[in-house]
Structure 1
Amino acid sequence: MTLAADGTALSPARIRFALLALALGGFGIGSTEFVAMGLLPNLASDLMPGLYASDTEGAIAQAGWLISAYALGVVVGAPTIAAFAARWPRKKLLLALLTAFTLATLASALLPTFGWVLVARFVAGLPHGAYFGIASLVAAKLMGPGKRARGVAFVLSGLTIANVIGVPSITWLGQVAGWRIAYIAVAAIFALTFVAVALAVPWQPGNPQATMRNELRAFTRLQVWFALAIGAIGFGGFFAAYAYIAPIATDVAGLPAAFVPFVLVVFGLGMTAGNIVGGHMADRSVRRTMYVCFVLLLLALVGLALTASSIAGLFIGAFLVGGFSSALSPTIQTRLMDVARDSQSIAAALNHSALNIGNALGAFLGGLAIAGGLGYVAPIWIGVVLTIAGIILAVVSFGIDRSRRVRGVDVPYGTGALTSVDVA
C-alpha cells in the first residue's frame, strides 16, 4: 500500500493519475528536446537565410548547435538544481521546474535571432535533468518496493511516447505553420503538465538531511564517474544518428520532407518498446541488461549505416536503434542511483546530464563530419565508435565491482554485481 505524506492511503486511481501527470512532463520534455531534430532544415533556412542559400550543409550543421545548446543546459542544470534543492518538497520543486520549462520554451519560439534562440535553448535545458530525477524518485515511491526501474521507466515513457506522437506531429506542424508555432505548442504542453501535477501528484517531502555537500559527495565515487561516462559516451552513439535523421531520410534515402515525421514515429515506437522492456530487465539485472542492449545497439547502428539508402533499411534501423538505446536509459539511471548510494537526488538527475552530454557530443561530432564533406551517413558511423567505447567502459566498471566483491569490499545491491539473478 502506498501512503501519502500525511499517512493516508493513496487509491490505485490516484496513483495512476499521478504517474500519468509525471509522464506528461516527460512527454513535454521529449517534445522540446527532439523536435529540433526534425526541423533542422527549417531552423537553418529561417534563422540563417544567407548561409543556407550559399552552403546548405554548413547551415544545417550550425543549426545542430541548437541541439547541443539544449543538451549542455541539461548537463549544467541537472546536478546544480538537484543538489541545491534536495531539501525542497518534491511537488513544489516539480512545479517550479515546469514553470521554467514553459517560459524558456516560449522564449525559444519568440526570440528573433539564431544567437538568442541558442541562449533560450540552453536555458530550456536547465530544468530537464532535475525534473526527471525528482519525478523518478516520486514515481519510485508511488510504485513501491522492488519496482524502482519500472518507476523510472514510467516517467521516461512520456519521453518515448513523445517520439511516437508528439515529435512527429509537432514536426509536421512546424513544417506547415513554421518552427516557431511548433515551440509554442510545446510550451502549451508544459503549461498543461503544470496543472496536472498540481492536481494529481501527492505532496512528498524533500530529504531533510540533504545538503549540497552530501549530494556532491557522489562525485567522489569512481563508479559514479564510470556510470556517467557510460551514459555520455555510449549513449552518444544514438544521438549521433538521431540528430541528423531528417537529412538522412531526405538526402540519403531520397524520401520527401513530408515523410520525416513517419521516420520519427518509427524511432518513437522503438523507444517506447525499449523503455518498457529495459525497465523490467533492469529490475532483474542491471549488468546483464546493459551488456545485451549495448551490443544490440551497436549491431543496429551498423545495420542502419549500411542500409540507410533504402527505405526499408531506414525504417527498420530507426526502430531498432530507438529500441535498444531507450532500453539503456532506465538501466543507466538505476546504475547511477545504486553507485551514488545516499546521494539519491543528484544521482537521479545526473543520468540526464550524462545522456545529454551524449546528445551534445553526438550532434557536435556528427555536425563536424557533415561540415567536413563526409556526408549524412557519417554521423551513424561516429555513433558506432561511441557505442563501442560505451561497451568498453561498462566492462571495466562491472569488472571493478567483481574485483571488489572477490576482495570482500562492499558493493551496492542492485549494481548488477550482487543481484540474485547474477549470483545464480
Structure 2
Amino acid sequence: MPFALHLLALAVFAQGTSEFMLSGLGPDIAHDLGVSIPAAGALTSAFAIGMIVGAPLTAVLAVRWPRRPALFGFLLVFALVHVVGALTSSFPVLLGTRVVAALANAGFLAVALATAVSMVAPDAKGRATSILLGGTTLACVAGVPGGALLGQLLGWRAAFWAVALICVPAMIAVLRSVPAESGSGARGDVRAEVRALRGPRLLAVLLLGALVNAATFCTFTYLAPVATEVTGIDAARVPALLALFGLGSFAGVSAAGRLSDTYPTRVLVLGGAALLLGWVVFAFAAGNVAATLVLAFVQGALSFAVGSTLIAQALYAASGAPTLAGGLATAALNVGAALGPWAGGLAIGGGLGYRGVPGVSALLVALAFVVTCVARVVRRRVGGGATDEAVVGG
C-alpha cells in the first residue's frame, strides 16, 4: 500500500478525535461558556448534521478540483476552525465552528476515499478503505481518551489546540506525498459521476451502511451507562472499556482490509450474522463483567469489519463516481451515527432501560438482513443479477 495512504489516515485520526472528543468535554465547555450541558450536547449534533448535509454537497464541489489542493484546503479549514474554537468565548461561535469543521471533514473524507482507491489496484479498494478508517478507530483508542485527559489537565481548549496541531503534519504530508493528480489525472465531470451513481445496488449498500452504523453507535453512545448501571463497572474504568471497544474496531478494520476485496459476501454475511448474535448475547449478558469486556472488543471488531466492507462495496458499486460515492458513503454512515443514539434513547425512555440498548442494536442489524434479502429479490426480478461477490449482488 502507498505510504501516502497512511498519511491520509493521520488526518482522519485528527478528524475522528475531533468528532468524538466532545463526549468527555461537554461539562467543562458548558461551565466555561455559561450554557447548560444539553446545550453543550448540541455541539455534537451540529457536527453530525454538518457531516450528513455536507458530505454530498462538498463532494459535488470537490469533483471539479484537483485532489491534492482539495485535500489540503479542507484540512486547512478544519485546522483553522479549531483554532477559532480554542480562542472563542462565545458559544454560538463555537457552535458555528463545529458545523464548518464537519463540512470540511466531510469534504476531506469524500476526496480522501476517491484518492485512496485511485492509488491502488482496482481490486484493492477494501484494503485502501480500511487504512483510512484505521485513523477513525485509532481516534477511539488513543485520540478520544487523550483529548479527555488534556481537557482534565489543561482545560477543554487544549484539546482543540491539539487537534489543530495534529493537522499540521497531515497537511505537509498531503503536499509532499499525495500525487498532484490522483486517478484520471483530470478534473472530474459532475454529471458523469451522477450518472454513474444510478442503480439499486449502491442505494442498498448505503442503506445497509446506515443501519449497521446505527447499531454500532446505538450501543457505543450508551456504553458508559450500560457498564456502570447494568454491569456494575466502576466509572473510573469506563475509559478502559471504551478503549477496548476501539481496539476491537481497529482489529476489525485491519482484518476486513485483508478479506473484503476477495470475500466481501463472506465478510458481510458471516460477519453480520455474528454481529447480530453478539448484540443479542450482550442484551442478556450485560450484567456480567467478563461478558461485557469480551463483547466490547468483539462487537467493536465485527461492527467496523462489516462497516468498512460496506464502504468499499459502495466504492465498487459506483467505480465511475469515486468522489460522490465517497461523499454518499460518509453521509450514510453519519445518518446511522445520528439514528442509533436516537433509537437507543427511545428504548431507555420507553422503560427498557440501558439493558435494552444492545437489543435495539440487534434489531437494527436484523433490519439490515431484511434489506439485503429484499434487495436480492428486486435485483433478480428486474434481471439485474450481479456477477461479482457482493452482499446485494445476484
Q: 2:13 aligns with which of 27, 31, 53?
A: 27
Deviations 1:225-262 (A, max 9, x none): 22221111232000111122233333433444432321
In the TM superposition, 1:239-388 aligns within 5 A as 239-370=217-348, 374-388=352-366
- Is the 1:402–1:417 contact (alpha carbons within 8 Å) kept by the matching residues of 2? no
- Is the 1:278–1:328 contact (alpha carbons within 8 Å) kept by the matching residues of 2? yes
Per-residue deviation at 1:327? 0.5
Q: Residues 274 and 287 from structure 1, CA distance in 2 versus in 1: closer, same or farther, beyond 3 angstroms?
A: same
Per-residue deviation at 1:46? 5.8
Q: 1:37 aligns with which of 20, 23, 28?
A: 23
Distance 1:48 1:397 in 2: 50
Per-residue deviation at 1:272? 0.7
Question: Hey, what does 2:374 align to over in structure 1?
Answer: 396
Question: Hey, what does 1:93 align to over in structure 2?
Answer: 70
> When the two structures are superposed, what TM-score results if normalisation uses the length of structure 2?
0.88
Question: Hey, what does 2:131 align to over in structure 1?
Answer: 154
Per-residue deviation at 1:141? 3.3
Secondary structure at the aligned position of 1:263 is classed as helix
- Is the 1:237–1:384 contact (alpha carbons within 8 Å) kept by the matching residues of 2? yes
Deviates more, 1:331-340 or 1:319-328: 331-340
Question: Hey, what does 1:217 align to over in structure 2?
Answer: 195
Q: 1:186 aligns with which of 150, 163, 187?
A: 163
Secondary structure at the aligned position of 2:314 is classed as helix
Structure 2 counterpart of 1:77, one-letter code: G
- Aligned-pair RMSD on alpha carbons? 2.9
Distance 1:82 1:69 in 2: 19
Distance 1:368 1:44 in 2: 25
Per-residue deviation at 1:22? 0.8
Distance 1:376 1:114 in 2: 31
Distance 2:162 2:365 in 1: 34
Deviates more, 1:37-46 or 1:86-95: 37-46
Structure 2 counterpart of 1:86, one-letter code: V
- Is the 2:204–2:392 contact (alpha carbons within 8 Å) kept by the matching residues of 1? no
Q: 1:228 aligns with which of 206, 210, 217?
A: 206
Deviates more, 1:26-35 or 1:40-49: 40-49
Per-residue deviation at 1:115? 5.0
Q: Residues 385 and 63 from structure 1, CA distance in 2 versus in 1: closer, same or farther, beyond 3 angstroms?
A: farther
Q: Residues 43 and 403 from structure 1, CA distance in 2 versus in 1: closer, same or farther, beyond 3 angstroms?
A: farther
Secondary structure at the aligned position of 1:264 is classed as helix
- Is the 1:129–1:350 contact (alpha carbons within 8 Å) kept by the matching residues of 2? no
Gaps of 5+ in 1: 1-11, 53-58
> When the two structures are superposed, what TM-score results if normalisation uses the length of structure 1?
0.82
In the TM superposition, 1:45-64 aligns within 5 A as 59=38, 64=41
Structure 2 counterpart of 1:315, one-letter code: L
Distance 1:342 1:37 in 2: 38
Secondary structure at the aligned position of 1:385 is classed as helix
- Is the 2:117–2:128 contact (alpha carbons within 8 Å) kept by the matching residues of 1? yes
- Is the 2:62–2:107 contact (alpha carbons within 8 Å) kept by the matching residues of 1? no
Percent identity of paired positions between Structure 1 and Structure 2: 35
Q: Residues 239 and 211 from structure 1, CA distance in 2 versus in 1: closer, same or farther, beyond 3 angstroms?
A: same
Gaps of 5+ in 2: none
- Is the 1:64–1:363 contact (alpha carbons within 8 Å) kept by the matching residues of 2? no
